[in-house]
Chains A and B, each alone.
Chain A
Amino acid sequence: MIVDTSLFTRWVKFSPSILITLLIVPVVAGLLGVILPAFGWLPALGEETVGLRGFEALFATPGFVKMLALSFSTSFVSTFFAVLLSILILGNYFNSKLLGHIQRLLGPILVIPHAAAAIAIGFLIAPSGLIMRLFSPWLSGAELPPDILLPNDPCGFSIILGLTLKELPFILLIAMAAMQQKEIKQAIEGQYKVALSLGYYPFTSFCKAVLPILYPFIRLPIYAILAYSSASIEIPLILGPNTPPTLAVAIMQWFNDVDLHLRIQASAGALVQIMLTLCVLFTWWLLEQCVKRFCLSSLINGRRTYADITWKFLTHCITLLVLFAIVLALIGLVIWSFAGYWSFPKAYPDQLVTLHWQSALQQLPETIGDTILVALAATGIALFLALFTLEAEQQRRTQLSSVASLMIYLPLLVPSIAFLFGIVWVKEIIGVNAVFSMVVLGHLLFVMPYVFLSLATSYRKLDLRYANVAASLGRSPWSVFYSVKLPQLMPPILFSSALGLAISFSQYLPTLLLGGGRINTLTTEAVAIASGASRRISAVYVIIQLLLPAFGFILAWLIPKLFFRPRY
């Protein structure tokens, strides 16, 4: 393609570098801002000697090994379950309409902020939660909530449950998006049909013929999930134990402790957290290698079935259970948000009132406004940069290098707790006071990767012949981009925007740390309220947290239907 040097093409040319810089600089600066204090350099406290006392204090923390073990096991096991369940669901419902239905039902969970999901799951499984109430006292015989340690059990089962439920839809959606790409779709469907015709049972066919092709496409997202869950805050904070908590939660508590010298220990902890995350990733890689080694022979051993019927039955049960839990959690939330007093073991409150909604809605308009404003700004910038970067790819006719693609994932792979505190420190040193733009930048770090990745597939798949025809008729690159490519891409652009908005809505740490409390979003308010005492108000906040991103997705789905007539 011949490209003249208009303003547009110059912008396009630079946008890949701008995009990568915007992602790398804050992360690297943030990491630096943690490394220096970790080795004892914190001039504000008069700590100017470099040493290892932060690490010494860290290792002397009571239960330190348990913290590591808890972080490691919960993230690894939950991801393992999520991947396993995804494989079961994909394999057993492959090429069936059910898969689409399940995707539509699970999709909304993807956009639920982690804090909201954790609160909802807590409502469900607590000894005084909805499940227990449904079975009390007629079955359990309990007039009072039983004194069992759930959630917050010391082994982290509740964390695993929460993380698995959150990760499952993500992996499913990524896998299904990959399977819909033209070349992959052709390959796997062909292979699958051949396997079936050779007498392989459906699930075995999927595992032997489809999975080996599919897995490389979901591999990076799985690593991102592992990294995220090994350092996540909200779910372990709300559902996890605290004697001791997971490492990430402990780090956050040390950073927030009134004893400012704990900050050195916290920074050291942040570095250990990075090591821990690397360990989790490495272990997963080992697992992959083992599976590869030991399953290679069974791929070609010709065996047609591995208890396929049992697996299918199991998948039905698990899918039903997951859906049941989700629906029950949602129902529970709605009832709590309208509940008058609701004593145990009643399955239904004494009376329904609108008081909680009224008082929340009185205080919320400004917060919702800020939430949307930040999200629109972050998503807008992300969309703009992502589109231009992808356009640059097409003008250069080469895809981003694999290093560059990895860089886009960087904010998702480095534990955010490790670099966000550093960013605050660096920000103070530079003396930036612009709160709003800092929060937008913070959100951008997390919104950008998702927007880029969700757009990239469609953009790269775009049938270039239309653009070529337009260009050959003398249209400028801008005009080709604006009036040929963008209209073709409208549905994926809208979807990416909705996804970007949803990601931005759910950010807790970046908003809190970079906004310094001056910008309250729905999520920061919800976590602050969850630290308060009212289950009812919490429920209202969680529901609004669910509705906001859902609204975005509904718009993304409706707009093309209403305004863009189908052209074929």
Chain B
Amino acid sequence: MPIIKNKPFRLRRWLIWTLLLLCPFINAQTLSEKTAWQQTLQDARDNSVYFYAWGGDPQVNRYLQWVTKRVDNKYGINLEHVKLAQTSDAVSRVLAERSAGNTSAGQVDLLWINGLNFATMATNKLLEANWVSNLPNFALTNPDQNPAMTMDFGMPTNGMEAPWGRAALTFYYNSASISTPPTTLQQLLTWSELNPGRFTYAKPPDFLGLSFLKYALIILNQQQDVSIYEQLYIAPTAQSERQLLSSLWTFLDKLHPHLWRQGRYFVNDGTSIRRLVGDSELDLGFTFSASDIPGAVDRFDLPLSIRSYAMKDGSLSNVHFVTIPVNAKHKAGAKVVANFLMSIEAQAKKQQPSNWGDRTVVDLSLLAPDKQLMFSSLQQHPSALPELDTSPSLSEPHPQWSAVISKEWEKRYGAKQ
């Protein structure tokens, strides 16, 4: 054994020396990257990485417990999942720290984030930049061919966040009480008129409520002139707000009287909709993580008769990321964890419906067939979204639209009783 072991060792040292000597002549980047990554791995050992992530879903929490074990075994990192009720809590924490002049001992090492929270942190320069491309596993997402991996709600990520998973707006209904669910936005309106009080969405700025409003906004403006429609993907102006939002308000004015509680009360939290469907107060719900639904059925929170589907006129979809605040204390450890989260092992495990069911960010076409097999699920749950059920994917509007929608919604419906 020692003889065999020795040889590559010498070989490697020789190789390094040769390469070092050749450095001026060849493209030195790969090598320095590799050694830089080795250095990161070394620095990360024995780090305690505080991962601030929404903790409202037991399945996600269990998955993160598994991640904790793996990064401990593989890299000697002590990962602590700090369960947040809202991601914005962590955003305010970083802000408070930085405002108090804490530039290198921040408590948040890694943060699960996307959309508006990311936009807020990025514009306030609260995030570490240009680290993602140094992660070896980032290449697995094929970022050159796959712009979604470097754009968060239309904003370039500039290496501030590493992609973690993908989500699309998925609807579900109780097949015991409705036979044919509405499959377009217009059908949803007519269906609500026929079945008053059986549907609702969460009050913005809740993430799910906003997602529903953005889905409606996109669909309602698809018929508009392309030059106007494309305004959705850049920051809103007074003019584009007028042009694009008016159809949304007309639609909501028509929809609200037929919603649950006649639209006089909206749940604060998107996930409460699942509870209301479970209580038979609603017949139709929607979620951003399709995998929640079979999980909830197995935990008896939803009846067996629940079926999931995608809206025919399109599904709002986005990528969620992990990011490192600029003042994080354990950056090396956070990078290693972010890299592990993108690994084939972690991504395949995450895609399994029994573990989490969150869609992978890895580009499967880059993988060998045996690796691809790791990602396919064994059997389909009757309540899960059928794998063939796909619909045009609608990309997220510019994040500032969310703020505008929230604010205008509040003005129109926030104090209505």
Contacts and interface: CB of A to CB of B under 8 A. Distances in A.
A pairs with B: yes
Interface of A: 42-45, 62-63, 66, 126-128, 144-145, 147-149, 152, 154, 237, 241-244, 255-260, 263, 339-344, 353, 355-356, 359, 363, 424-425, 428-429, 431, 433, 435, 512, 516-518, 520, 524-525, 527-529, 531-537
Contacts of A525: 55, 83
**Interface extent on B, as a size class?**
35 or more
Contacts of A243: 203, 264-266, 413-417
A536 B300 contact: yes
Contact of A244 (B101, B117, B415): B415
Given A62-B410, A517-B90, A532-B271, A258 B117 contact: yes
Given A148-B261, A533-B272, A536-B300, 7 more contacts: A258-B88, A258-B117, A341-B302, A344-B279, A344-B281, A356-B299, A429-B101
A181 B272 CA distance: 48
Contact of A242 (B197, B203, B281): B203
A533 B271 contact: yes
Contacts of A45: 95, 99, 124
A435 B82 CA distance: 13
A265 to B, nearest CB: 12
A149 B275 contact: no
A258 B99 CA distance: 16
Interface in B96-155: 96-102, 105, 107, 116-117, 120, 124
Contact of A256 (B88, B100, B273, B274): B88
Contacts of A431: 100-102, 105
B304 interface: yes
Given A147-B262, A260-B95, A517 B83 contact: yes
B205 A257 contact: yes
B415 A149 contact: no
Given A533-B296, A536-B300, A259 B120 contact: yes
Contacts of A63: 414-415
Contacts of B117: 258
A527 B299 CA distance: 20
Contacts of B271: 531-533
A149 B261 contact: yes
B224 to A, nearest CB: 28
Given A44-B96, A242-B203, A258-B120, A535 B90 contact: no
Given A145-B280, A528-B56, A42 B100 contact: no
17 contacts: A43-B99, A62-B414, A128-B281, A256-B88, A257-B205, A263-B92, A344-B280, A355-B299, A517-B52, A517-B84, A518-B82, A525-B83, A527-B85, A529-B56, A531-B268, A534-B301, A537-B58
Q: Of residues B58, B266, B296, which shows the largest number of chain A Cβ atoms within 10 Å of its Cβ? A: B58
Sort A-B residue pairs by CB-CB distance and give the 3 closest, nearest first: A44-B99, A63-B415, A428-B100
A429 B97 CA distance: 8
B173 interface: no
B355 interface: no
A271 B336 CA distance: 44
B91 interface: yes
Nearest to B124: A260
Contacts of A341: 278, 300, 302-304
B156 interface: no
B408 to A, nearest CB: 11
The majority secondary structure among interface residues of chain A is: loop
B89 A256 contact: yes
Contact of B91 (A42, A62, A260, A425): A260
A372 B328 CA distance: 29
Nearest to A426: B100
Interface string B274-298: 1100111100000000001000100
A533 B275 contact: yes
Contact of B99 (A42, A128, A534): A42
Nearest to B410: A62
Contacts of B95: 44-45, 260
Q: Which of B55, B84, B116, B269 has the most CB of A within 10 A?
A: B55
Interface string B15-46: 00000000000000000000000000000000
Contacts of A363: 58, 61
Given A42-B99, A536-B301, A260 B92 contact: yes
Contacts of B274: 533
Contacts of B292: 533
Contacts of B205: 257-258
B403 interface: yes
A152 B202 CA distance: 14
B74 interface: no
Contacts of B262: 147
Contacts of A516: 82, 93, 107
Contacts of A535: 275, 278-279, 301
Contact of B415 (A62, A356, A534): A62
B320 to A, nearest CB: 15
A133 to B, nearest CB: 10
A540 to B, nearest CB: 11
B86 interface: yes
Contact of A145 (B279, B296, B417): B279
B196 interface: yes
Nearest to A435: B107
A149 B299 contact: no
A152 B261 CA distance: 10
**Residue with the highest number of chain B CB atoms closer than 10 Å, among A237, A341, A524, A525:** A341
A38 to B, nearest CB: 15
Interface string B249-271: 00000000000111011101101
Interface in B359-416: 403, 410-411, 413-416
Contacts of B299: 355-356, 359, 534, 536
B50 interface: yes
B230 interface: no
A63 B233 CA distance: 32
B57 interface: yes
A409 to B, nearest CB: 29
Contacts of A340: 300
Nearest to A339: B300
Given A145-B281, A528-B85, A428 B56 contact: no
A428 B99 contact: yes
Contacts of B261: 147-149, 152
Contacts of B92: 255-256, 260, 263
Contacts of B414: 62-63, 243-244
A537 B265 CA distance: 24
Contacts of B278: 341, 533, 535
A310 B304 CA distance: 52
A259 B96 contact: no
Contacts of B300: 339-342, 353, 355, 536
A345 B417 CA distance: 28
Contacts of A126: 279, 281
A512 B89 contact: yes
Contact of B269 (A343, A531, A536): A531
A425 B417 contact: no
A144 B100 contact: no
Contacts of A44: 95-96, 98-100
Contacts of B280: 128, 144-145, 343-344
Nearest to B61: A363
Contacts of A534: 58, 275, 296, 299, 301
B56 A532 contact: yes
A145 B98 CA distance: 49
Contact of B403 (A148, A152, A259, A527): A259
Interface string B197-227: 1000001010000000000000000000000
